[in-house]
Amino acid sequence: MQSPKKIIQDLSREELSELIQPAFRAKQIYHWIYHQYATSFEEMKNLPKEMKKKLDEEYTVAPLKQVMVQNSKDGSRKYLYQLHDGHTVEAVLLLMRAKEFHEDGSVKHQERYTVCISSQVGCKVGCAFCLTAKGGFMRNLTAGEIVEQVRLIKKDNDIAANRRVNLVYMGMGEPLDNLQEVAKSVKIFAEEEGMAIATHRQTISTSGLSSKIERLGKMELGINLAISLHAVDDELREKLMPINKAYNIASIITAVKNFPVNDRKRVMFEYLVIKDVNDDISAAKKLLSLLDGIKAKVNLIYFNPYGGTEFKRPSDADMHEFQDYLTKRGLHCTIRESKGLDISAACGQLREQEIEGEV
Ligand code: SAH
Ligand code: SF4
């Protein structure tokens, strides 16, 4: 994997057409990559030998190598991938609903999948509760390295090209700190001739880089937005998330209010609940007023402890009390079922991030 070759998945559909002539050849290659899940040019049987050879000299179709997979009892699977420079990133396949059958044996519901992907190796944001932050920041992923996580997961799980999956940019890294490549990956995912994952099935989660939220909004990609809020006053948020010194809560709320939200969607506010830190009802009260006037929904997440952290998981009772306070006052609020909890949570955050029923 020490290959300095360029990554073919980094190319958008248009860029591939510019590179490959005649046009139908580019279409064939796209099909091989995203429908047949080819991992070499050699496999692309209907291409001329010379073309395969030339492409192979300059490009790779296999920029990521699977180095580990862990299976959870609930059907979720967590993957570790190695990049060409030796760094590793995680991605998780979350089984949101298992396949269900009618009594006569016919299929009632297909499985429902969400793939959680990484956008950086490490992260610069440095949140106090996050394991990814502990390792520091290494580098941004390219669009192709982001796209490849989903392609490999679909291939490994025999998920047909035309099967719908949802995507969440909630793995390692801060997507808006790598906005250009992330935006490009969103478009490549949505490409009709490729994986055709509509942008309304993709959710970008951010720690709240307000200026980048504004910029993302202006791109009009049609993606869903999730904000990792975790605290309702600036003092506590600064302690948990140092980025809050640069972008405070008020700036995030303003950016969200300017963000183009699909008519049938809401902006998700993630609230990581940490025992005795942010789990009291006064925080719920403040949250309610903060989100006033925003088409929002709240997702409460149990803090997932790991070795060496000072933070603790909240009690079920406190979680439900927090949720009840909000739902009784008309705010959509769900508690995140932690899928794949029995999988060792190496980065501490690759978790179920599904937007229930709405995606
Ligand atoms: N950097 C982006 C996206 C990746 S983090 C962001 O912060 O939004 C994805 C989610 O995992 C965030 O909501 C984050 O707060 C959460 N997370 C991080 N560490 C966690 C832990 N130990 N337990 C539970 N969730 C965690
Ligand atoms: Fe980065 Fe998100 Fe972890 Fe914060 S929670 S350090 S933004 S990955």
Three-state secondary-structure class, residue 15: helix
Handedness of CA 62, 64, 66, 72 (dihedral sign): negative
Q: Is 90 a catalytic residue?
A: yes
Query: How large is the average pLDDT for residues 327-341?
Result: 84
Measured from CB, residues less than 6 Å from any atom of ligand 1 are 129-130, 170, 174, 205-207, 228, 270, 272, 301, 303-304, 348-349, 351
* Cα–Cα distance for residue pair 17/27, rounded to 1 Å: 8
Which tokens hold the place of 210? 């307000």
Q: Which domains does the chain have, with CATH numbers?
A: 6-60 (1.10.150.530), 75-356 (3.20.20.70)
State mean pLDDT over 84-98.
91
Atom of ligand 1 nearest to the CA of 123: 1
pLDDT tens by residue, 9-20: 999 999 999 999
Does residue 130's CB lie within 6 angstroms of at least one atom of ligand 2? Answer: yes
Question: How are beta strands 296-302 and 267-273 bridged, if at all?
Answer: parallel
Q: How far apart are the first and last CA of the chain?
A: 36
Phi, psi of 130 (to 5 degrees): -105, 130
Q: Distance from CA of residue 205 to its chain's centroid?
A: 7
Q: What pLDDT is stored for residue 211 in this prediction? A: 98
Q: Judge if the upstream peptide bond of residue 48 is cis by omega within 30 degrees of 0.
A: no
Closest CA to 10 of 177, 164, 185: 185
Q: What are phi and psi of 86, to 5 degrees?
A: 95, -15
Residue having the nearest C-alpha atom to atom 4 of ligand 2: 127
Which residue, by CA, sits nearest to atom 3 of ligand 2?
130
CA distance 49 to 152: 25
Q: Calculate how far, in angstroms, residue 228's C-alpha sits from the geometric centre of ligand 1.
A: 7
CB of 123 within 6 A of ligand 2: the answer is: yes
pLDDT in tens, 205-230: 999 999 999 999 999 999 999 999 99
Among 49-53, 173-177, 275-279, 337-341, where is mean pLDDT lowest? 337-341
In a 13 Å sphere around the CA of 264, the CA atoms on its Cβ side amount to: 6
pLDDT attached to residue 213: 98
Mean pLDDT, rounded, of the chain = 91
- What is the rounded average pLDDT of the residues 51-67? 97
Distance CA 303, CA 313 (A): 5
CA of 298 to the centre of ligand 1 (A): 14
**Nearest CA, atom 11, ligand 1:** 349
- 116, 148, 347, 354: the catalytic one is 347
pLDDT at 341: 60
pLDDT class of 340 with cuts at 50, 70, 90: low
Tell me, what's the pLDDT at 257? 97
